[in-house]
Amino acid sequence: MHVAMIGTGYVGLVSGACFADFGHTVTCIDKDADKIARLQAGGVPIFEPGLETLVAQNVKAGRLFFSTEASEAVRGADAVFIAVGTPSRRGDGHADLSYVYAAAEEVAGLVEGFTLVVTKSTVPVGTGDEIEAIFNRVRPDADVAVVSNPEFLREGAAIEDFKRPDRVVVGVTDDRAREVMRELYRPLYLNETPIIFTGRRTSELIKYAANAFLAMKITYINEIADLCEAVGADVQQVARGIGLDNRIGGKFLNAGPGYGGSCFPKDTLALVRTARDAGAPMELIETTVKVNDARKKAMAEKVGRAVEAELAGLTVGVLGLTFKPNTDDMRDAPSLDIVPALQARGAKVQAFDPEGTHEARQLLRDVVFKSDPYDAAEGADILVIITEWDQFRALDLDRIKLLMNRPVMVDLRNIYKPDDMRARGFTYTSVGRA
């Protein structure tokens, strides 16, 4: 089948490359000429494990193309996916749908024959209805079906999540559209992937409900971690003890500095606003947002308590800046709250991240960026682990200790064991553990 993918961000580029790998012919479209030129030249504008190879293979096979012009690809498409950004709107937290509606307007003027218009972007309930209204206004003669097909891709594991998903959700009201979506995802039927067909509004809500639940789960275990510290318990053992209950599950029970990234912060806010507008406020999610925001800001205080002194004049080495490992995404990363809070207390910050330095330079001020974890530790009074990159899990701790002014580590991801660190002579602080 022929697919046009509007948008080449994380969702659009990964989805386009994976559909091409399924055997479909895909054209990814973006108005950013520099990004398209880079893709056409064989580069990939984002860091996602395996993506560069997947893109190259499918370009070479003649199944994956890139363009700044939508006309030809949309006219020949069986399905046009809208995968543009839906950031939080300034001032009120609603999802900014201007990019989605602009894409729909453009597509409406180009479609020929029966075409699916599929929202891959995360959009609030009722967005599909608005897209349908755009088509009725701009091209009342167009033979289109508007479909919701939310993504459930984890950055750092997006290709695996697309090809071996827990489920595929499709919100559709047209039988012809249902068959096209079945054909697009036909390779997944071989793996017996559950493909759930629902109403369009239900599909849109499933995405928000899933992300909000996971955000709430993270916030819950973080509050349990605070209680563990107060009473002398171990949050990792608590998480294992409750996670073995199949009704709870062990995922998203890792205590840390709070959630960030491109999805949870904006999606929880958007769900809160949608619920309030609908007269059905979600107080659990509102509290989740509030607690998570406060937690990220409070991490600087935890660093200060580790040295039992004012941070003014001290040098803090930071390991990890992205919101999670295996991505270069800095959106709403905990480091964006923690680093400025450390600086506000008078600390000097030097930092290293394997992939996020380029983005971090645009977002953080007066930080000295280092070339590796040992460079970040050299001359530091405190070393803080914010992101749990694999290369931070097996540091040469004896070398780290020699490089630092004093052996103080604040491990916000619980990578190391407290007893081992104390035995090596470190003053060691973690999350939710004695």
Handedness of CA 209, 212, 216, 218 (dihedral sign): positive
Q: Structure tokens of 422? A: 């104390």
Please say whether the beta carbons of 15 and 5 come within 8 A.
yes
DSSP 154: P
pLDDT at 308: 81
Protein fold of 2-198: Rossmann fold (3.40.50)
Cβ contact 408:384 at 8 Å: no
28 catalytic residue (yes or no): no
Query: For position 92, what pLDDT does the model report?
Result: 79
Which residue type is seen at 403?
A: L
Domain ranges of the chain: 2-198, 235-429
pTM above threshold 0.85: yes
Q: Do domains 2-198 and 235-429 have the same CATH topology?
A: yes
Cα 420 from chain centre: 33
Q: Which residues of the chain have pLDDT under 50?
A: none
Of 18, 28, 228, 263, the catalytic one is 263
CB 149, CB 172: distance < 8 Å: no
Domain 235-429 belongs to what architecture?
3-Layer(aba) Sandwich (3.40)
Confidence at residue 62, expressed as pLDDT on a 0 to 100 scale:
97
End-to-end CA distance of the chain: 57
Q: What's the rounded Cα separation, in Å, for the pair 270 and 85? A: 13
Q: Which residue has the tokens 């990792």?
A: 236
> What's the confidence (pLDDT) of residue 325?
96
C-beta neighbour count of 246 within 10 angstroms: 7
130 forms bridges with which residues in the sheet? none
Q: Which residues of 366-376 are buried (b: 16+ CB within 10 A; e: fewer)?
A: ebebbeebbeb
* Residue located via tokens 């490992």: 325
